[in-house]
Amino acid sequence: MRIEQNIDLRKYSTMHLQSEGNIMYSPESVDELVNLINELNGDYHLLSAGSNSIFAEHVVKPIINLMNVDESMSFDGEVFTCGCSVRIQKFIQFAKEKGYGGIEFLYSLPASIGGIVYMNAGRGGDQRQSISDYLTEITYLNCDTNEVQTEGVDKSKFGHHISPYQNMNCVILSCKLILKKQSLEETNSLIKKRLDLCKKIQDTSKPNCGSVFSKGNKYIFKLFQLLGTKSGGAKFSKKTSDWIINTGGATATDVKRLVAKMIRAHKFIGADYKVEYKFFD
C-alpha cells in the first residue's frame, strides 16, 4: 500500500483546488483496505476519482484513495461485474467489446464506478437515467462490522443522485450490472452523441466538479450564471448553469463562499435545495 504524507492534493480533485493533505493511503486490494479501515477507527475520508470532491486548504483527516482497490471487470454471458476503482470509460468500452451498452450517458464523467454508484450518478431532465437502472448487486465493506457484504439492489432506495450507501458507513467494493444488448456501432454513436452534447453545454474551459447542487431553483442558478458571481479564484460559469469553475488558485473557502451565497438565495425565496459537492476538511 502506498502511503504519502504532506501531499499536494491539487491533482486528486477535478477542481484542482489549492490544498495540502496530511496523509493519503492507497490500498491495493480489498484485504489491505479492510486492515486499514480497522486501524483508522472511523476517522478518514474516502476518495475515488475526485470529480465531486472539494478539498479544504488543509485536509487533516487521513484520506483513503480507492482508485487501486479493485480494478477488475468480468462478464459471464449475462451479468457484468465491475470493481469500484474502474474508470467509467474503461467499463463502457469493455461492455462495448462484449456487445452490450446502455450507460453511455455516463461516458462524460471523470469518475470511478464506486463514486458513480455512491452518488447514483446519471442525467436529469426528461431523459432521467442513472446507474441504478442497471445495477443488480453491490458488494461493500461494512465499516461498522469490518465485514464484506453482498446484497441485491432495491431500486426503490435510489433516487436522483441518491443511493442508500450515502446513509451507511461503508465502502462500495464492486457491483453487478445487467446491460442492454447493443451493437458496437450503436455504442460508439451514443458515446459520440454524449461527448458532443457535453462539449456544447458544459464549461470545460477550466477545472470544475460538475453541478454544485443536485436540487435547486433553475432561476436562481440562471441568475448566478448570468452574473458570473465570483469569490477569489472560484466563479460561477457563464456557460453552464450551476457549475463553479476554478479560474486559477481557487481554494475551498472560495467555493464555500459561492455555495453559501447560492444557499442564501434559495432560503430567501423559500426554495428547496441540496448541495451535491462533498467537502473534505
Ligand X SMILES: Cc1cc2nc3c(=O)[nH]c(=O)nc-3n(C[C@H](O)[C@H](O)[C@H](O)COP(=O)(O)OP(=O)(O)OC[C@H]3O[C@@H](n4cnc5c(N)ncnc54)[C@H](O)[C@@H]3O)c2cc1C
Q: Which residues bind ligand X (CB under 6 A)?
A: 14, 46-53, 66, 84, 108-112, 114-116, 118-119, 121-123, 161, 165, 171-172, 208-210, 278
Q: Where do runs of H (alpha helix) occur along the chain?
A: 30-40, 88-97, 113-119, 184-201, 218-227, 252-268
Write down the least CB distance from residue 75 to ligand X, Å: 21
d(C-alpha 281, C-alpha 18), whole Å: 13
Q: Nearer Cβ to ligand X, position 89 or 99?
A: 89
State the Cα angle at 102 between 46 and 221, rounded to 5°.
60
As a whole number of angstroms, the distance between CA 117 and CA 175 comes to 8
Which residue number has the CB closest to ligand X? 115
Grid coordinates representing 79 are 451479468
We find the least distance from the C-beta atom of residue 165 to ligand X, in angstroms, to be: 6
> In whole angstroms, what separates CA 185 from the centre of its chain?
28
Shortest CB 202 distance to ligand X, Å: 6
- Which residue, 99 or 123, has its beta carbon nearer to ligand X? 123
State which residue, 16 or 96, has the beta carbon closest to ligand X.
16
Q: Which is nearer to ligand X, 51 or 231 (CB)?
A: 51
Please name the amino acid found at residue 188.
N
Nearer to ligand X, 27 or 265 (CB): 27
Phi and psi torsions of 144, nearest 5°: -75, -40
Q: For residues 200 and 215, give the distance between their C-alpha atoms in angstroms, rounded to a whole number.
A: 22
Look-up of cell digits 464523467? 109
CB neighbour list of residue 177: distance below 8 Å, 6 or more residues apart: 79, 80, 82, 103, 131, 134, 135, 136
CB of 213 to ligand X, least distance (A): 12
Q: Which is nearer to ligand X, 47 or 265 (CB)?
A: 47
Q: Which amino acid is at 4?
A: E
Q: In the complex with ligand X, which residue's Cβ is closer, 127 or 268? A: 127
Cell of 216: 435547486
Least distance from ligand X to the Cβ atom of residue 171, Å: 4
> Which candidate, 75, 44, 171, 188, places its Cα nearest to that of 115?
171
- Least distance from ligand X to the Cβ atom of residue 41, Å: 17
What is the rounded CA–CA span in Å between residue 66 and residue 116? Answer: 13
Q: How far is the CB of 269 from ligand X (least distance, A)?
A: 25
